[in-house]
Structures are given as C-alpha cells and as structure tokens.
Amino acid sequence: MAAVTALPVDRHVLAESPRWDAATGTMSWVDIEAGRLIVARPQPDAQVDILRTLDFDEPVGCAFRLGDARFLLALGRRLGFVTAVGDVTTSRDLLPDHQRFNDGVIDPAGRLIVGSTAVDPAGPHEGNVLLRLEHDGEITTLDTGLGISNGLAFAPDGKTLYSVDSAAGVIYARDYDYETGTVGERREFVRIDEEGVEPDGLAVDADGAVWVALWGGSAVRRYSADGSVDREVSIGVPHVTALAFIGSTLQHALVTTASRDLDDAALREHPDAGKVFVVDLDVTGQYGYRWRPGPLPQ
C-alpha cells in the first residue's frame, strides 16, 4: 500500500498545479481561488520549508517556474510573469469576462498550453477553450466547446496530449506533433461516469500510464495506456485536484486537494481537506518540460 502523508501546511480553498523543479529541488502549487502561489522545499520526515508565498488579486490557474526564478502564470483571463519579489507583468485579456484560465502544461517544444473554465464554479460550463502560447507571443486555439478544461499531460514520447474535461467526465487523447505544432482531433481515452466523481488533474508516468486526480473520489487513479484501471490510491479527503511527480527519483507524488464545497461537518470529518500530500509510489514519473522564453500576447 502506498504511504500517504499530509504536509504541515495551511488548508487551501482550491489547491492545484503542483510542480517540481529539479534544478532547485523545490516544488510549487497554487491556491486558485485564494489567488496564491506557494513555493516550498521538501525536508526529511514529511516536513516542508515554505520559501515564498505570493498573493494576487485574481485567481491563479497554474504556474511554471522559469530558469531565472520568475514564474509563468495563468492569471485570471491573462498570462503573465511574476518575479521573486512579486512584481507582475501580464498580457492582454485573452478570454471573455465569464471565463478564467485553469490548468496548463508545457509542450516538448517549450510552448504553454492552457485551458479555460467558468469564473463562477456553478457554471454554465460550456464554450471553454484550449489555447497555446506560441514562441512569437501569438495565441493558437487548439480546441473549443469544452465544459471545464482541466488536467493536461504528455505521453513519454511527447506525441500524445492527454486532457481532461471535468464537466464531461472524460479524459481525451490527441495526436500531437510538437515539431510542427499540428494537433489531432480529440478522442475519448477514458470516461468516468461514477456519481459525484469528476476527473481533475493529470500526470503521466515513465511507463506511459495516466494518473488522474478524482474530485469527489478521494483518490488518484492510474490507467494503463489501453485505458484500463491499473490501481487507485486513496488520499483520504473528498476533493483530490492534481498530482505531480517530485523528488530526485520521481517516485513520489505531490498531491493537491480542496476544501471548497465542504460544509463544517465534512471539514470536521476530513480535517486534512485542502492540504497537500506526498504519496510514495513504486513507479517513476517524468520531468516536466521547460518553457522556451518568448513574449506575452499584447
């Protein structure tokens, strides 16, 4: 059985976008609805040093550490950079007023792919998009008509892009040519039709298996490349939001969770809801790709 440990950090409303930066040995995540970015370094015995906490006046959908200690952010309806001391530079608005950016991923060529969702968690969940920031600062629309664009991850060879539509309960797969930028039509990889359970964040391990965080499902689940369920690891809180492989061996996962939508009784029953967890695994993950520097859309 995988060991699951809650880290001694504050409860979050909607923790997401866990990342590992091998160059600095640090990890990061965001609290979307609190508008917060947290940077930390893991320590022995399930301890953690919080190195930086940066607060913003709008939701932070995802964040990626750059080589110069800045972060690339999806901030509300814009993309932007934040420095180590909190100075922010942003693009123009890229989404309509009722949408905001959600989860993202860096592709093998160093481009940001990021999806959208409704500003109001109650919806309506329709008309959302999947966008790509090109090296010249232009925006390419990869997909439209999504409900809640959520987790994104690449197969080990970089030629398949997996993406979640939480509202549809589906993990999609697309052929992806990172050299030309050509993206194939989405096809259903896995459909999750369990009552009260939605797929959320994604990660793909070195074997090509797809891990998904289960909102309402209290777990992370591993699907083999053929779409069959391989295993499930209980996290012990209702809303599991995302995961990322961390550490020198990439055999641990940083798992984020949420306390949103839980009443007082549920929070008493699940006091670790909204915490971040470390899970010891017997599989090896993949390193994330680095963003290739370029301009923001103006």
The mean pLDDT value for 284-290 works out to: 98
Q: Which two tokens stand for residue 95?
A: 């989404």
**Is residue 45 predicted with pLDDT exceeding 90?**
no
Amino acid identity of residue 242, one-letter, is A
Rounded average pLDDT over 144-155: 99
**Distance separating alpha carbons of residues 281 and 47, to the nearest angstrom:** 18
Q: Are strands 239-246 and 229-234 parallel, antiparallel or unpaired?
A: unpaired
200 is in an annotated binding site: yes
pLDDT reading at 103 higher than 70:
yes
Tell me the pLDDT band of 2, cut-offs 50, 70 and 90: confident
CB atoms closer than 10 angstroms to residue 43 = 10
Residues serving a catalytic function are: 200
Look up the CATH number of the domain holding residue 181.
2.120.10.30
The mean pLDDT of 224-235, rounded to a whole number, is 98
Query: In this structure, what DSSP letter does residue 177 have?
Result: E
Its domain, for residue 159, covers: 4-280
Average pLDDT over the chain, rounded to whole? 98
Residue 12 CA to residue 141 CA, distance in Å, equals 31
Q: What is residue 46's predicted lDDT score, i.e. its pLDDT? A: 83
Determine the pLDDT at residue 264: 97
**Residue 291 included in any domain:** no
Q: How far apart are CA 128 and CA 271, in angstroms?
A: 33
pLDDT grade for 1, boundaries at 50, 70 and 90: low
Amino acid 110: pLDDT = 99
What integer is the mean pLDDT of 7-30? 98
Threshold 0.85, pTM exceeds: yes
Task: Let me know if residue 298 belongs to a domain.
Answer: no
Q: Is 150 annotated as a binding residue?
A: yes
What token pair was written down for 229?
A: 């369920």
65 is in an annotated binding site: no
Reported as type and span, the H/E element at residue 213 is strand 210-215
Is 218 inside a domain boundary?
yes
Within a domain: 290: no
Asked whether residue 297 is domain-assigned, the answer is no
Name the 3-class secondary structure at 265.
Answer: helix
Does residue 87 have a known ligand-binding role? no
| Residue 295 domain-assigned (yes or no) | no
48 falls within a domain? yes
How many structural domains does the chain have?
A: 1
